[in-house]
Amino acid sequence: MIEPRQHGYFRIHNANIYYRIYGTGKRTLFFLHGNGEDWTCFTKQIEFFAGEYKVVTMDSRGHGHSGISERPLTIKQIAQDAATLIMKLHLERVTLVGFSDGANIVMEMALNSTLPYERLVLAGGNLNPKGVKMRYQLPVILQHRFCEIAARFCPRLQRKADILGLMIHEPNIRPERLHKITVPSLVLAGEHDIIKDKHTRLIAAALPNSTLAIIPCANHFLFDGWADKVNCIMKNFLEA
């Protein structure tokens, strides 16, 4: 794994937000990970793209090395953190790349941030909790309830409950709102994704300038198990 040329923290909205920067390209790929993960889920993309692009990762609030504050842990809050980090790092020509909850954060940023973004890559995102297949959502619901109860006796479990709560209560994006996102957008999902196929196609159809790619035989974790395929699709999309 290559080493970052810069890494550290910024104090953003009363929380320490951790970031890493690789490469020195004029165009930036800003990666946002999924629920319960951190920057390491993009190691195969960092190695692939850092030669041509500036690659930036962020650990979302409450995840990885990033801290929390008194503010509620929400998709909107994490999106605000990410937009602020982009400004503090003076990043230009930014493509937002989001996986799972990261894709939901990217949509929130594109809808509500005034920053200009060149392109979006949305992998395994959903507009609302009903977009997740129930056989995957039900265990999360049960684990969330357990952590909420157990947190009364073991306060450190409250952070875990808050993180799981993101999948249960969020996002809440109406598909018609996506019409305002006009930048080129790549929508990715696995053939056997935890996200319903019709839901993925709804996102792609709602974006005016989208490209849809369903990876055959793949599950939700595209950036790891199907990295070679995904990296090539992303490269073609970015260079089109």
- What the chain holds in terms of domains, given with CATH numbers, is 6-126+174-239 (3.40.50.1820)
pLDDT tens per residue across all 240 residues of the chain: 899 999 999 999 999 999 999 999 999 999 999 999 999 999 999 999 999 999 999 999 999 999 999 888 999 999 999 999 999 999 999 999 999 999 999 999 999 989 999 999 999 999 999 999 999 999 999 999 999 999 999 988 999 999 999 999 999 999 999 999 999 999 999 999 999 999 999 999 999 999 999 999 999 999 999 999 999 999 999 999
Q: Which two tokens stand for residue 120?
A: 């979006």
* DSSP classification of residue 216: T
219 Cβ contact list (under 8 Å, min separation 6): 190, 192, 193, 194, 225
Tokens of 200: 């993925």
Q: What is the pLDDT of residue 1?
A: 84
User: Does pTM surpass 0.95?
Assistant: yes
pLDDT at 71: 84
Q: Report, in angstroms and rounded to the nearest whole number, the Rg of the chain calculated over CA atoms.
A: 17
Residue 156 confidence (pLDDT): 87
